[in-house]
Amino acid sequence: MVCKTFTLKNPNYNIKINSLGAELKSIFFQGEEYLHQGKSHWHRSSPVLFPIVGKLKNNNYTYKNKKYTLGIHGFARHNEFQLIKQNDKELSFLLKENENSLKHYPFNFNLKITYTLNENSLSIKYEISSNQEILFSFGAHPAFLLKANINDSYLKFEKKEKANLLCLDLKNGYVSNSKENYLNSDILKLKTNIFKNDALIFKSLKSNKVHLLNTKNKKSINITFKDFSHIGFWAPINAPFVCIEPWCGIADDIGTNHNFEEKDSIIRLRGGEVFSRSILVSLN
């Protein structure tokens, strides 16, 4: 597979996207990298999660009484996307079903990802459509470099949140229970072992924006998102980054019956309709 890297530039930003997974690989801002390069701790930078988010129990599901297998986060990140639009400010990529995807996911689909570089921000738009009714989950998974020690870093939400933590089973990665009122502030302080039990996942936050900040300097990473059902935060222990992950979907509950049509937060899209979500990244 021959993968290509494409670039968008302006006086403040230098953005790189790889055709494999249409994955964002670099956000260079005012002479400094802000995105994890996938060279240690984790081999990804910003994968796209489709047609599932997280893990299926035993990596399988049933649809119309037939059993299918899918690995964690689905297959989009492993596939070459086609470049369908390119200009000085915009790159659009498209992934369609193929012979292999239909063995694991029995739907025709178009997954379009458009990167638009504005003067002071990067917009990433995700569009999913089909000529038939389809079921899916979808998520973003960008890994942003910490600009200070994790113990000096924190997340600040747009609004004060009162949210339960959805807890993953550490061994298998399924949703097993929740902790009430884990988040009861507009601030979530980070620390070395905060992700020791896997990702921190919250559902139905009031905020549409979150900032990654620290107490040592004024550098900030600002993510705007809207109409995502969940948001996750994750990093390996001692990693120099934190993933900020808006999701429309969630891993299987530990008590799942494997029926894809009954999966928690599954999206049902009618033929001819378009599912559209965007995130906006700005840096200071």
The C-alpha atoms of residue 198 and residue 160 are separated, in whole angstroms, by 24
Domain residue extents for the chain: 5-283
Burial class (CB in 10 A: 0-12, 13-18, 19+), 136: buried
Amino acid sitting at position 35 = L
The C-alpha atoms of residue 60 and residue 71 are separated, in whole angstroms, by 8
CB atoms within 10 A of CB 90: 14
Q: pLDDT tens-digit profile of 7-55?
A: 999 999 999 999 999 999 999 999 999 999 988 999 999 999 999 999 9
Amino acid sitting at position 134 = I
* Category of 104 on φ-ψ map: left (φ > 0), alpha (ψ -120 to 50) or beta: alpha
For residues 50 and 22, the answer to whether their CB atoms sit within 8 Å is: no
pTM for this structure?
Answer: 0.96
5-283 CATH pick, 2.60.120.260, 2.40.240.10, 3.40.50.2300, 2.70.98.10: 2.70.98.10
E strand residue ranges, 110-220: 110-117, 122-129, 134-136, 138-140, 143-145, 153-168, 175-189, 200-203, 209-214
Specify the pLDDT at position 1: 63
Cis peptide before 11 (omega within 30 of 0): no
Kindly calculate the radius of gyration of the chain based on its CA atoms and give it in whole angstroms: 18
Q: What is the dihedral of CA 245, 248, 253, 256, to 10 degrees?
A: -150
Specify the pLDDT at position 58: 96
pLDDT beneath 50, residues of the chain: none
* Category of 172 on φ-ψ map: left (φ > 0), alpha (ψ -120 to 50) or beta: alpha
The C-alpha atoms of residue 74 and residue 188 are separated, in whole angstroms, by 29
Joined together, the tokens standing for residue 143 give 């890994």
The C-alpha atoms of residue 231 and residue 248 are separated, in whole angstroms, by 8
For residues 36 and 25, the answer to whether their CB atoms sit within 8 Å is: no
Q: pLDDT tens-digit profile of 102-125?
A: 999 999 999 999 999 999 999 999
